[in-house]
Structure 1
């Protein structure tokens, strides 16, 4: 979930192995909560991921983090 082509493309667009986390024991909600507490970006690649949607999310996140720092 999703297919290998979509998952690999999204993973590469997100920076590949740079700051990647993966777990069988934690849920996506656990990781999202931790990222929010730590002030870190969180990107989920799952069965609803599309490359186009993921690229849009990256652009929105980039804008958010720039604004949060006070450009």
Structure 2
């Protein structure tokens, strides 16, 4: 499964982690931004792309919603 991993650049040692789960549209830019914002707060964040098995987020939320029905 593909996804988007964010880790703060200068964080020492272990970090708390958060799994960022998207709605039925796939790993869109908004979800990536949520993960980035968590990184700025010293969290490691991973946002998996639930549409990986059907080619990943298609770049459009409406198409992503249609693709999600095929998963």
| TM-score, scaled to structure 1 | 0.33
* Higher-helix-fraction structure: 1
Relative contact order higher in (CA < 8 Å, ≥ 6 apart): 1
